[in-house]
A and B are shown apart, each in its own frame.
Chain A
Amino acid sequence: MGNLLSLALTTGAPAAAEAAPALLNDQLGIVYALLGVALATLLAGIGSAIGVGMGGRAAAGVLTEKPELFAKVLILQLLPGTQGIYGLLVAFVALGKIGVLGGEAPDARTGLLYLAACLPIAFVGLLSAIHQGKTSVASIGLLAKNPKTFGKAMLLPAMVETYAILALLVSILTVSNL
């Protein structure tokens, strides 16, 4: 707004009116792209925090009675934490291309494309981490009953991870190729 105002004062209103859409276009591009970065980090991170929190509460319940299972339940608790890392990874790649950590600021159209590219890992990350957390809780219960089932117990929540990985691939490939 400051740029538009000084342009209007120095060159007159008609010139400012011509320059306004171009300036707005440039600025909106980075806004859209940063919105995508924020969503990828926030939603995937929130999902992971919820999932790991659920796993942690179940792990604490088991460890109260069977402290010897610490290493095994810790792995199950941490499984839903990966979505947050995926979100962060996509965010870093995007930041490196939109003029924050490198590259140059995108125009509005490209900014919107960055936003769209970040959405898969943002939403799939959020939901898959919560559901992976629930599956981890069930697997911790399974482990509590029979510690020998650790391999099977770990595979069940790991299956949910598949969909987070697919979303990560789509987001990262799109962001990298814009």
Chain B
Amino acid sequence: MIMKKDYIFEDARIRVMETGLLTKADFEQLLAEPSYAAALNFLKDKGWGGPDAPKNAEALLQAEEKATWDLMEELLPQSPLLNTLRLSRDYQNLKAAVKQIYTDSALDAERLFVEGGTIPSAKIRRALEEQDPEQLPEEMAEAAAQATEVLARTGDGQLCDIILDRAALKALLKAGKEAEDPVLNEYAQVTAVSADIRCALRAARSGRDGETIKEMLVEVPGLDLADLTEAALNGRQAVSDYLALTPYASLAPALSQSMSAFECACDNLLIERIRPQLYESEKPGPLVAYVIARENEIKCVRLLLSGKLNGLPENVLRESLRNSYV
């Protein structure tokens, strides 16, 4: 008899791990730390980086990211469940490989590529070097060919980025839709909405026409690309007014305020949407939500530490403070 996987063991272990996530009070305390060194010590006291915590903040954050993914690998060995969350790294590596080959750069691979994607970065580079698209998934190979051709023809790196970013979002939405757990679909949609709006505004600011802007965006349920493009051409406030009429209305006030407030609101929206997973059991949702929460937490800590290092005042740093999952 084939038993359906019930994730009881995995969810119970994640319930314990959730107790180690930073709470709102922890973030407030981190924010109130008088210096960068004090903030780093606060994190170490919380167990970040383990017993041999690295002295460097970036190394500490990378160690935490690695610990999260190592835990997932231990709980779900070779499972495709979390591939949706890894996709962005694949496209980041693809972008680096396309540009490295075009510029014939001899930069160290470690500096260009990130690990933890679904495809090893060396394989992506080899596929492009050998011009063998069959080594890559179909959508990725198509995007790589288009980006390479545009880069060779125009030398426009920004256009190359746009093609690959769009392909990455399309792949993310497709993976989210087909994913085993609906949390991944939520993640894909919120990520795509945030990217679409940022892309539309950036393109409008750089003087691109409506048709080009529309082509740069990806279809997301709840957003009308023609309306969004039209609003983008009329500025940030017009996009905010349009957003207020969509299912993403909660993001509109933040967009009126500033782009960084909007990015923060997108992260908070995602956290709100995954929060019900705190009370789920026997499903993969709590595992997915934990990874998203952990990445969000690390991103927030990185912003705070960078602000502390650069001596930014507390009220400025507070703007980038994200909601805690727990």
Contact = CB atoms under 8 A, between A and B. Distances in A.
Contacts of A134: 281-282
B16 A62 contact: yes
Interface residues of B, number: 15
B175 to A, nearest CB: 27
A49 to B, nearest CB: 13
B13 interface: yes
A59 B12 CA distance: 7
B9 A145 contact: no
B11 A61 contact: yes
Contacts of B10: 61
Contact of A60 (B9, B14, B18, B19): B9
Given A54-B6, A144-B19, A145-B19, A62 B282 contact: no
Contacts of A57: 6, 8-9, 12
B226 to A, nearest CB: 46
A18 interface: no
Contact of A58 (B9, B17, B18, B19): B9
Main secondary structure of the interface of A (DSSP, over half): helix
A145 B15 contact: yes
A60 B12 contact: yes
Contacts of A62: 12-13, 15-16
Nearest to A73: B12
A144 B9 CA distance: 12
**Contact residue range for chain A?**
10 to 19
Given A54-B6, A134-B282, A141 B13 contact: no
Contacts of A58: 8-9, 11-12, 281
Contact of A54 (B8, B16, B17, B18): B8
Given A54-B6, A61-B16, A65-B17, A141 B11 contact: yes
Contacts of B16: 61-62, 64-66, 144-145
A138 interface: yes
Interface string B106-140: 00000000000000000000000000000000000
A57 B13 CA distance: 10
Nearest to B74: A64
Contacts of B13: 61-62, 64-65
Interface of A: 54, 57-62, 64-66, 134, 137-138, 140-141, 144-145
Given A65-B16, A65-B17, A134-B281, 11 more contacts: A57-B9, A58-B11, A58-B12, A61-B10, A61-B11, A62-B12, A64-B13, A65-B13, A137-B281, A144-B19, A145-B18
5 contacts: A58-B11, A61-B14, A65-B13, A66-B16, A134-B282
